Homo-oligomer: A and B are copies of this chain.
Amino acid sequence: MVERAGPATSEDLSKMMATNPVVIRRIMAGLRRQGYVRSEKGHGGGWTLACDLSKVTLRDIYTALGSPSLLAIGNRTEAPGCLVEQAVNAALQQAFHDAEERLLARLGEVTLSILSADVHSRLVVRGRSEAMEDDVHVT
């Protein structure tokens, strides 16, 4: 979206990400609630950025999207009756917490502007390698 002059429709975005417009709207709804994007209806409408990319981190987005669990395993039951389960939970609770913290901390370090810059540099690289392929074809 950074690259675009005007608003991007859910239709456009869904094509880019090989998914469905409604899925895009569902996801963007969370970002809109936090004010990271704006949406306009009608002709020429669509989604536009509404935040300072250097101020918004992946963690903000993670939060806006409902903070789903980062770990594949973890304490399943809130207050398990099974003593073995209790023992395992007690033994690993701290580690789960630490691992999650580590991930969240990193998410908080990565701003959208950093990502944008990285995407740009990757674009350049891709451009160069495509040019090289052309050379090969020509030569």
Q: Chain A residues in contact with chain B, CB under 8 A? A: 58, 68-73, 83-84, 86-88, 90-92, 94-96, 98-100, 102-103, 105-107, 110, 114-115, 118-119, 122-123, 126
By a CB distance below 8 angstroms, the chain B residues around A105 are: 95
Task: In the A-B complex, list the 8 residue pairs whose CB atoms are closest, starting with the nearest.
Answer: A95-B106, A87-B118, A99-B99, A83-B122, A91-B110, A99-B102, A72-B72, A83-B119
Provide a sorted-by-A list of 16 A–B residue pairs whose CB atoms are within 8 angstroms. Answer: A69-B72, A71-B103, A72-B72, A83-B123, A84-B119, A86-B122, A87-B118, A90-B118, A92-B107, A92-B110, A95-B103, A95-B105, A95-B106, A96-B103, A99-B99, A99-B103
